[in-house]
């Protein structure tokens, strides 16, 4: 596996990690807390932001090799990841417009890399 493909995979891993962190933060935001400080000092928020730092490190490592023109295609995949995880884990509804939008994103990514 060459260096370019490896770094694309690192970038995509960072996007997936960021999607998981967003899911954690959303689940924390949906709860009600007794005091406003508990909104920020709970385990989901702390882990969510820690995982976001890990995602940023993956992105920085990938940017060392891949050109800036390729990165937006990888980052767009994050929309697909977050929507899919929200549907699977949080049981959010996927309507026709969302599905069409996600398909357009995936098709655009495929066209970009081919």
Mean pLDDT of 27-49: 85
Q: How far is CA 52 from the centre of its chain?
A: 9
pLDDT band at residue 112 under the 50/70/90 scheme = confident
Instruction: Output the pLDDT for position 56.
Output: 92
Q: Name all contacts of 21-26 with Cβ < 8 Å and 24+ positions apart.
A: 21/48, 21/49, 21/51, 21/52, 21/55, 22/48, 22/82, 23/82, 23/85, 23/86, 23/89, 23/90, 24/48, 24/51, 25/49, 26/86, 26/90
Instruction: Please enumerate in sequence order all residues whose Cβ is within 8 A of that of 22, keeping only pairs 6 or more positions apart, or say none.
Output: 48, 82
Instruction: Output the pLDDT for position 89.
Output: 85
HSE toward the beta carbon, residue 37, CA cutoff 13 A: 0
Quote the domain boundaries for residue 80. Answer: 3-113
Instruction: Provide the domain count of the chain.
Output: 1
pLDDT band at residue 100 under the 50/70/90 scheme = very high
pLDDT tens-digit series, residues 47-92: 999 999 999 999 999 999 888 888 888 888 889 988 998 899 888 8
Model pTM score: 0.79
Instruction: Output the pLDDT for position 31.
Output: 82
pLDDT band at residue 41 under the 50/70/90 scheme = confident
pLDDT band at residue 38 under the 50/70/90 scheme = confident
DSSP letter (8 states) at residue 70: T
């Amino acid at each position: 596996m060459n260096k370019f493909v490896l770094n694309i995979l690192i970038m995509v891993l960072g996007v997936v990690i960021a999607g998981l962190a967003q899911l954690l933060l959303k689940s924390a935001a949906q709860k009600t807390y007794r005091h406003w400080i508990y909104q920020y000092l709970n385990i989901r928020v702390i882990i969510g932001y820690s995982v976001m730092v890990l995602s940023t490190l993956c992105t920085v490592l990938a940017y060392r090799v891949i050109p800036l023109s390729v990165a937006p295609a990888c980052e767009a995949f994050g929309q697909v990841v977050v929507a899919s995880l929200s549907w699977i884990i949080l049981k959010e509804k996927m309507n026709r417009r969302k599905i069409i939008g996600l398909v357009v994103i995936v098709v655009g990514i495929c066209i970009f890399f081919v």
